[in-house]
Amino acid sequence: MPLSAPAPRTHLHTRSVTYRGYHREDGLWDIEAEMTDTKAYTLERTERGVMPPGTPVHGMLIRVTVDDTLTIRAIESAMDHTPFQECQQGTPPMQQMVGVTLGPGWRQAIELALGRTRGCTHLRELLFNMATAAYQTIPGYRERLRRQAGAPPTEHTTPPYHLGKCIAWDFDGAVVARHYPQFAGWQPLQRGQRADPRTTRPKPEQP
């Protein structure tokens, strides 16, 4: 359902963010992110002069190439629109993300390599959700390719990574009971808890 009717107001700013996922002919995967900031009014900046409405204040793109394990094999970034020329210094540090996996610890890895003055705030923000875009792109399509090749559906012996990560996929909820009944009521091992092989089931699969 749509939002309720807003109070009278004036449109001032738009941030557009788009993620796209691709399967490459060489078997790798490209995840691309694009972000644009625009104002709905004329903006005057010392270093860019008069900027008519709709002129991008920020215009940034990232492409990461990952393998089937979601490990980054290559990364490319571009800044077509920035407030300052010095912002371009934020692109070379992005190469430090090569070899990092889009999975548990992803945000910590970004902060370690690119946090604060080591990188660009907006490129970091785009990177954060690339893991989600990769997860939306890759596992489901890989399963589709398996079925097209005549392979049986994947049998999960441990919970898929997304289970237990949101209100809908609560292990004690109705969605898990319907789609993954074998994991209904699952109790993941808590940090610091010693595993008892007689009572503890394995940790969830990683994407």
Q: What is the pTM of this model?
A: 0.85
CB atoms inside a 10 Å sphere around CB 160:
19
The 3-state secondary structure of the chain, one letter per residue: CCCCCCCCCCCCEEEEEEEEEEECCCCCEEEEEEEEEEECCCEEECCCEEECCCCEEEEEEEEEEECCCCEEEEEEEEEEECCCHHHHHHCHHHHHHCCCECCCCHHHHHHHHHCHHHCCHHHHHHHHCHHHHHHHHHHHHHHHHHHHCCCCCCCCCCCCCCCCCCCCCCCCCHHHHHHCHHHCCCCCCCCCCCCCCCCCCCCCCCC
- At 204 the pLDDT is 42
Mean pLDDT of 10-36: 99
The residues spanned by each domain of the chain are 13-137, 155-207
Task: Flag whether pLDDT at 205 surpasses 70.
Answer: no
CA 20 to chain centre: 10
Per-residue pLDDT tens over the stretch 72-115: 999 999 999 999 999 999 999 999 999 999 999 999 999 999 99
Mean pLDDT of 49-55: 98
- At 189 the pLDDT is 66
Identify the weakest region by mean pLDDT among 18-27, 78-87, 157-166.
Answer: 157-166
Q: Kindly indicate the confidence band of residue 188, based on its pLDDT and cuts at 50, 70 and 90.
A: confident
Mean pLDDT of 125-131: 97
- At 155 the pLDDT is 87
Angle at 191 between CA 188 and CA 195, to 5 degrees: 65
Q: Kindly indicate the confidence band of residue 125, based on its pLDDT and cuts at 50, 70 and 90.
A: very high
- Could you say which architecture CATH assigns to the domain 13-137? Alpha-Beta Complex (3.90)
Q: What percent of the chain has pLDDT over 90?
A: 84
- At 161 the pLDDT is 86
Task: Flag whether pLDDT at 195 surpasses 80.
Answer: no
- At 207 the pLDDT is 45
Task: Flag whether pLDDT at 191 surpasses 70.
Answer: no
